[in-house]
Amino acid sequence: MAQSSGRNKVPLPLHPGWRGKSFILTVSLIPPLWLRKVTLWLAIATAGSILLGVAWSQILMGVTLVALLLSGLPMRWPRIARPLALFLIWTLIALGASPDPVGGLAQVRKIYVFFVMLVVFSAVTEVRQARWLALTWMGIGTVTAGRGIFQYVRDIAAAKEAGVDFYHFYIGDRISGFMSHWMTFSGQELFVLLLLASFFLFAPDVRKRLWVAAPCGLIVFVALVASDTRSIWIAAVTSGAYLLWHWRKWAVAAMPVALGVGLLFAPTAVKMRVKSIVSPEKQTDSNQHRIVCWRTGWQMIKAHPVLGLGPDEIQKEAVFYRYLPADISKPLPEGYYKHLHNFYIQYAAERGIPATIFITAALLLSAWRFRKALGKLPPGRSDEKFLLHAGVAVIIGTLVAGVFEYNLNDTEVLTMFLSMICIGETCLGETCISETAAAKTASPA
């Protein structure tokens, strides 16, 4: 066997009877450097491939976990894992108290998704590595957005061929990229757009890469507009306003003007969808089914405030109608009634109010930590500023979109969200290290 290098050898504790003897046993503890690099790239592939589908990402995560165990890298969890662990524990307790525990086993299997935090946070240990992951998302996200635009053009042609109005032809089956549903697609593209926006506003080398970043931003923006997903539009405006405020405060005042001008030149279908936010049609784009879901969810919470009905119990039609308020007439407005279209109400109704508190606290904790670290960074552009601002914007977007949808339960959205929090936490680690080094340099010997 080849002899290990000197830096890979550490003296093992000697037996007391060996004291005074010149015998030292050494053992190689640090695996080859290439294995650590492989683990890093596998982690980036795991988080990046979620934009293409669940299967490849989860297979890669299993391979990465094995590589991580063999690499010798420290096994690390980000700070957000603590309240999330409480959320998962409470989910298991709620499942145990559920009238149909077997029906909620899908939420137990979803715990595997949370291991992406261990994979990404353990392997991505430097800001430059976190930047590589962010650029990977930008690249793959542009490809998926391009596919969505192609689907949009194809749907326009199909509506013309069928001789029907495009808006009503399209609204029930919108673009989805490589995903199975437009909500999942638009949720992921929101994260990609916020990464690109933060890159433009805060990254240090924008001018060198503007020739490629600008077309990426345009493609993702067009795809997000074409998705006709109103909750994501509202989340994008809110989180985008945060980024603009911390770039140039006057830009926030100009934002409504830019949106108004853009709406003037938008396609008719987009104008109709924007109008439906405040003045919907009775069935096609009604907001009434959300109100029905929220009111029904509130009845569930009042009846089971601590442990809820049980994970995934709400998707049963009989359970939903059992808690439907008596003053709501039937038939119900057109819409999807398998969940409550609000993750705060959803988690409280099926797992209890503590579950909602735990997961909301996890998001707010990360946002607070990122903002605190941003306040300590020096003026000017930097990768830390780009990634931390993107992290805060993603959290804001998730919190806002959660008022209208249950997106965070989607494996595709959840995997990407948790990975983005991890790269923000990586920036916190390097910021702390830099501050400690600067303090030691400034202090007298």
For residue 25, name the pLDDT band (cuts at 50, 70, 90): very low
The residue ranking higher by pLDDT, 279 or 414, is: 414
Distances (CA, A) of 309 to 164, 315, 320, 323, 346: 43, 11, 11, 11, 10
SS3 26: strand
Q: Measuring CA to CA, which residue among 413, 378, 401, 425 is closest to residue 79? A: 425
| SS (HEC) of 32-49 | CHHHHHHHHHHHHHHHHH
In the chain, what percentage of residues exceed pLDDT 70?
88
Q: Measuring CA to CA, which residue among 276, 186, 169 is closest to residue 223? A: 186
Amino acid at 245: W
Distance CA 202, CA 277 (A): 32
Backbone phi, psi, residue 182, to 5°: -70, -30
DSSP characters over 400-438: HHTTT--GGGSHHHHHHHHHHHHHHHHHHHHHHHHHHHH
In the chain, what percentage of residues exceed pLDDT 90?
78
The pTM (predicted TM-score) of the whole model is: 0.89
Digit-coded pLDDT (tens) for 48-84: 999 999 999 999 999 999 999 998 899 999 999 999 9
pLDDT value at position 72?
87
Instruction: Provide, for the chain, the percentages of residues in helix, strand and coil under a 3-state DSSP scheme, each rounded to the nearest 5.
Output: 70, 0, 25
Mean pLDDT of the chain: 88
Digit-coded pLDDT (tens) for 118-153: 999 999 999 999 999 999 999 999 999 999 999 999
Checking if the pLDDT of 445 tops 60, the result is no
Checking if the pLDDT of 290 tops 60, the result is yes
Distance CA 121, CA 133 (A): 12
Q: Token digits for 382?
A: 């930097």
Checking if the pLDDT of 28 tops 90, the result is no
Digit-coded pLDDT (tens) for 366-380: 999 999 999 999 999
Digit-coded pLDDT (tens) for 405-429: 998 999 999 999 999 999 999 999 7
Domain boundaries defined on the chain = 37-288+328-434
Checking if the pLDDT of 432 tops 60, the result is no
pLDDT value at position 14?
38
pLDDT value at position 250?
95
Checking if the pLDDT of 220 tops 70, the result is yes
Checking if the pLDDT of 29 tops 60, the result is no
**Range 388-397 average pLDDT:** 98
Q: Token digits for 41?
A: 């790239």
Checking if the pLDDT of 2 tops 70, the result is no
Checking if the pLDDT of 24 tops 60, the result is no
pLDDT value at position 282?
65
For residue 209, name the pLDDT band (cuts at 50, 70, 90): confident
SS3 10: strand
Backbone phi, psi, residue 11, to 5°: -70, 130
**Range 355-365 average pLDDT:** 97
**Range 294-315 average pLDDT:** 96
Distance CA 349, CA 55 (A): 30
pLDDT value at position 442?
38
Digit-coded pLDDT (tens) for 147-181: 999 999 999 999 999 999 999 899 889 999 999 99
Strands 26-28 and 9-11: antiparallel
pLDDT value at position 283?
63
Backbone phi, psi, residue 423, to 5°: -70, -25
